[in-house]
Structure 1
């Protein structure tokens, strides 16, 4: 029997994760069965269970992958000289997530924002997922804070800026924009970029004559 290559195994795992993410985004975790996932990816139960024991493990793998992607983007950005400003970086994060979690629903809607809302809701009732999210969030927040330190080194902001406070704010911007897309419909990353640039352009009020 021919040995299955690692490339093939990785591609099959990616196929399952993408199909499961699409199912979860479409109908939610609890309304989605493993049979729905099998139908979506057009694989046998044995083929899928070789990689994942069930829905809980699929959800955990999707969440871990998203958090790792965000952290990687931040760590790479911190090594750039000068590091990209938030109006460039936050849309870049969303664009990278689009590549990692591709696919659209029937109306052309990108799956990630809806999936994010589903994960948040599930986290409130699933202690294991909550622990995974909390651990991942701490790492992501540290990566953003490290980026803020890079801004300071590059002379882009004062030394006394609270790096963690800014990290939390940048995360909130990305999450909030994704939540808007999930609830109110598609908006391009350029909208977020332009809004951030407008905010960043604010200065001291001019004295009227």
Structure 2
């Protein structure tokens, strides 16, 4: 019998992960059954269990991937020199998040933010995923501290606020947008950018 190529095995594993991710984004990790996943990917139970021992293993694999993908987007954005203003930079990050996994778009809506929220929730019940999340967040925060320091050195941002505090806030803006998008869907990136510009232009009344 001919051996199955590694390329074929990798493609099949990718098919399972992508189909399961879409199921989980639609209905959540725990309301989705393995039968739902099998139906989505169009494979037999034996074919899927060859790669994943069960749903928990599938959840862990998808959650780890999501965290890695998000870290990659933040890291790439942080390497821009000089960095664009915060409203532009955060807009770029959010656009890339929405463009991740084109197969997770239905009716023009990206399901990826919904998957992000599911992953965040899952880290609250899984020590292993919590450790991964903590490591990713520390790396992202460190990268964005360097962005804030570049703003401060260029005279674009006040220097009396610790760079780490600003970096945490910028990350929180992206997280908050993802949560709003997952909940309400009609939220637009341009609205967030407009809001940031208005907030950063405030002056104390004389």
Q: CA deviation at 1:174?
A: 1.0
The Cα RMSD (Å) is 2.5
- After superposing on structure 2, the runs of 4+ consecutive aligned residues of structure 1 that deviate more than 6 Å are none
Q: Does the CA contact (< 8 Å) of 1:71 and 1:143 recur in 2?
A: no
Residues 29 and 118, structure 1, Cα contact 8 Å, conserved in 2:
yes
Change (3 A) 1:10 1:136: same
User: In the alignment, which residue of structure 2 is the partner of 1:93?
Assistant: 93
| Cα distance change, pair 78–116 in 1 and its aligned pair in 2 (3 A) | closer
2:149 matches 1:171: no
CA distance in structure 1 between the partners assigned to 2:188 and 2:112 by the alignment: 14
Q: Distance in 1 between matches of 2:19 and 2:69?
A: 18
Q: CA deviation at 1:76?
A: 2.4
Tell me how far apart the structure 2 counterparts of residues 128 and 177 of structure 1 sit (CA, whole Å): 26
Q: Secondary structure at the match of 2:168?
A: helix
- Show CA shifts across 1:114-149 (max 9, x none): 223322333322333222222222222222223222
Q: Is 2:119 the partner of 1:124?
A: no
TM-score by length of 2: 0.83
**Separation in structure 1 between the aligned mates of residue 143 and residue 50 of structure 2, nearest angstrom:** 33
Specify every segment of 5 or more residues in structure 1 that has no aligned partner in the other structure, as ranges: none
Shift in CA distance, 50/142, structure 1 to aligned 2, threshold 3 Å: farther
CA 1:3/1:122 → structure 2, altered by over 3 Å: closer, same or farther? closer
Are the aligned partners of 2:20 and 2:37 in contact in 1 as well (CA < 8 Å)?
yes
Flag the 1:99–1:181 CA change in 2: closer, same or farther, 3 A: closer
Could you tell me whether the CA contact under 8 Å between 1:181 and 1:187 is conserved in 2?
A: yes
Q: Contact 1:64 / 1:136 at 8 angstroms: preserved in 2?
A: no
Q: Note the C-alpha offset of 1:2.
A: 5.8
Q: Does 1:32 align with 2:32?
A: yes
Partner of 2:111: 111
How big is the shift at 1:196? 1.2
Deviation track 1:96-123 (CA, whole Å, cap 9, x = no partner) reads 2223233135x65421222233223333
* Structure 2 gap segments, 5+ residues each: none
Distance 1:15 1:99, change over 3 A: farther
| 2:5 aligned residue | 4
Partners of 1:119 and 1:152 lie apart in 2 by: 33
Query: Is the 8 Å Cα contact of residues 66 and 97 (structure 1) preserved in structure 2?
Result: no
Residue in 1 that maps onto 2:67:
67
